[in-house]
Amino acid sequence: MQPEPLDGNAIVYADGAFNTPNGKTAHGLARFTKRYRVLGIIDRRYAGQDSGAVLDGKPNGIPVFACLQDALTQSAEQPRYFVIGLAPDGGRLPEAGRTAVREAIEAGLNIDSGLHDFISNDPNLMEAARRYGVQVRDVRKTPDRDDLHFFTGDIETVDCLKLAVLGTDSAIGKRTTAWLIVHGLQDAGYRAEMIGTGQTGWMQGAKYSMIMDSCINDFVSGEIEHAVVSAYRNEKPDAIVIEGQGSLMNPAYPGGFEILAAGRPDYVILQHAPTREEYDGFPGYKLHPLQEQINAIKVVSGREVLAVTLNHEGLAPGEIENACRKVTQETGLPCFDVLAHGSGELVQLISRYLRRHADYPR
């Protein structure tokens, strides 16, 4: 029986973006979320299809609808939330999306958005929200400074395996891989916790989360540390997996430095798409070679990359194993495609590094 979601039923808006890099929030929610029970995805291009079959070739029972009206009339259950599943460069809401938000408000749905274009700053939409009695949550709004934490050094008290899932680019599957590792460890009988560092991780219900690009720079390290330390003290896990953001050398989304410095992982799992030649969304900016990115992680943090996880975009199913072999030949590291083949082999590798807790019966 499916556990009750934290917040309720939801329709996810991704019109024109599903199954593209600009739909990665919708992709995460179609694959997994504890926060909502997703009733459907909106994208007219795939209307009538199963979202899992479109995204991963694996049906998940979540249909794609052409519009909100279709979702409302064709769903067996009524939604409570309208979630913006778009993740475009710059985080701006297109005009068609603004119209869709108004339609959702008028249908009595609460609005959750992870964009930088805050719904709560639009006086017309907020007046409509008040009139129809719905809640608007802008997940990326900067928290009040009084609610933020500064780095203390308490991270040194965390005595369990810490893994950071970083990437060679943005929008490359770091969050999905992090969840698959957490679920794989849990299925193997270990206690594992996910540290969400972006809006989609929060929307997926990561209990210990901070949203890195909504945070004032002085407090980013402290918020990462606070999330990791809180997860350790409250849950006593065998492993903590920290979701990465951007990539070390991405010109628009340089990320990972703070996670390495403040999260102080024991090892790094590095997500890589071998068919990418340029940084996502930025033609002319050549992707730094995989080995160079591995070296950069070691220079910055002194930490080793434990394994490479493959993003198989642009590869046929029969090409994945050969692509993994090529990565291993190039780097000397094991390479796994956890989305295509599951996390079992990677979890076996990780389990060698786990420090078991005596108070947790196996």
Tell me: pLDDT of 64 over 90: yes
In the 8-state DSSP scheme, what is residue 303?
Answer: P
Closest CA to 80 of 117, 17, 133, 14: 133
Type of residue found at 267: Y
Q: Where are the alpha helices (DSSP H) in the chain?
A: 24-31, 51-56, 68-74, 95-106, 123-132, 174-187, 199-203, 217-235, 257-258, 290-301, 320-331, 338-341, 344-351
- Chain centroid to CA 42: how far? 20
Q: In this predicted model, what pLDDT tens digit does every residue of 294-350 receive, in sequence order?
A: 999 999 999 999 999 999 999 999 999 999 999 999 999 999 999 999 999 999 999
Domain extents for the chain? Answer: 8-138, 147-352
Burial string for 118-139 (b: 16+ CB within 10 Å, else e) reads bbeebeebeebbeeeebebbbb
Residue 358 has a pLDDT of 38
The answer to whether the CB of 326 falls within 8 A of the CB of 315 is: no
Which residues have C-beta within 8 Å of that of residue 212, sequence separation ≥ 6?
197, 198, 220, 223, 224, 245, 255, 258
pLDDT band, very low/low/confident/very high, at 35 (cuts 50, 70, 90): very high
Beta strand 136-138 with 110-113 is parallel
pLDDT confidence bin for 355, thresholds 50/70/90 = low
If 0-12 CB within 10 Å is exposed, 13-18 middle and 19+ buried, where does residue 19 land? buried
Does the pLDDT of residue 362 top 50, yes or no?
no
SS3 per residue for 137-164: EECCCCCCHHHCCCCCCHHHHCCCEEEE
Q: Fold identical between 8-138 and 147-352?
A: yes
Phi/psi of residue 336, nearest 5 degrees: -135, 140
| CA distance linking residue 239 with residue 130, whole number of Å | 44
| pLDDT reported for residue 88 | 85
Helix (H) or strand (E) holding 308: strand 304-310
Q: Residue 243 CA to chain centroid, in angstroms? A: 7
Length of the chain: 362
Checking if the pLDDT of 36 tops 60, the result is yes
Please name the fold of domain 8-138: Rossmann fold (3.40.50)
Query: In a 3-state reduction of DSSP, which class is residue 130?
Result: helix
Three-state DSSP at 11 gives: strand
Which residue, among 298, 60, 45, 269, has the nearest Cα to 174 in the 3D structure? 269
So what's the pLDDT on residue 224?
98
Residue 120 backbone phi and psi in degrees, to 5 = -70, -10
Pairwise pLDDT comparison (160 vs 362), residue with the higher score: 160
Report d(CA 70, CA 42) in Å as an integer.
9
Which DSSP string corresponds to 33-69?
-SSEEEEEEE-GGGTTSBHHHHHHSS--S-BEESSHH
Domain topology for 147-352? Rossmann fold (3.40.50)
Residue 6 CA to residue 33 CA, distance in Å, equals 9
pLDDT tens sequence across 196-245: 999 999 999 999 999 998 999 999 999 999 999 999 999 999 999 999 99
Give the model's confidence band at 357: pLDDT under 50 very low, under 70 low, under 90 confident, else very high: very low
DSSP string, 159-185: -SEEEEEEESSSSSSHHHHHHHHHHHH
